[in-house]
Structures are given as structure tokens and as C-alpha cells.
Amino acid sequence: MTNEQKRIRKMQKSYRDARKQIRTALAECRIGTAVHLQHIRALSDLDAQERSESIALGLEPANLGNAMRTEFLYVSFVSHCPANREELEELLKVQAVKATKGLNYSEQDETIRQQLGADFK
């Protein structure tokens, strides 16, 4: 571990410890009092200070919006691209059979559906 990494870890640990102490003290304060609000302000200042220091060290970008970019991923549900209409029809039939696997489409099920349809008309 290099000296820079050691300094960064030490900095992060000190901020964690300070944040923990402030939160412990904040738990003992009554909500809405001036002391409670001062602790909340101290937490927010600590977060801002840590962020500015990590930006200065180059650990985080100054503007996250510029650092991020949008990517569009296109997912194909077909394992290969058919070359002609016959291959396409065959591929779609295979996919339809896979999609309906486990559904009850037997003759008995169809007669039950017809009976229920007649009963509830």
C-alpha cells in the first residue's frame, strides 16, 4: 500500500469517526432544539468538507453529471437472425411452443373452458 493510499484511508477513517461521534451526540438531543439543529448542520458541513477534499485529491469527479454517460443496450430475443421467411416462420413457431409450454391446452381443458363460457353467458 502506497503512502497516498494510507493517507486516503486515514482521511476516510477520521471522517467516519467524526460522523459517528456527531450521530451519537445527535441521538441524545431533543428534536427541534438549537443543539439538535447545530448537530445536523455539523453533519452536513462534514459531508461537504469530505466531498470537497475527495474532489481535491481526485478521488471523485467534481461534476458527476459529466462523468456519467447514457448507454443503450439492445437485447435480442432471437438467438440468430433468419435469412428468409421460411426460417423466420420456423423460428417463431419454436418460440411460440416454448412460450406456451406448461399451459393447459389439452382437449379436456378446452371442453371445460367451453362449459364455463356457456355457464357464465
Instruction: State the greatest distance between any 2 C-alpha atoms of the chain, in Å, as a whole number.
Output: 82
B/e letters for 61-99, b = 16+ CB within 10 Å, e = fewer, are: eeeeeeeeeeeeeeeeeeeeeeeeeeeeeeeeeeeeeee
Residue-level pLDDT at 46: 93
Domain ranges of the chain: 3-61, 85-119
- Give the 3-state secondary structure of residue 121: coil
Which pLDDT tens digit goes with each residue over 89-114? 888 888 888 887 777 677 888 888 88
* C-alpha torsion sign, points 83, 86, 92, 95: negative
Q: Is the pLDDT of residue 78 over 60?
A: no
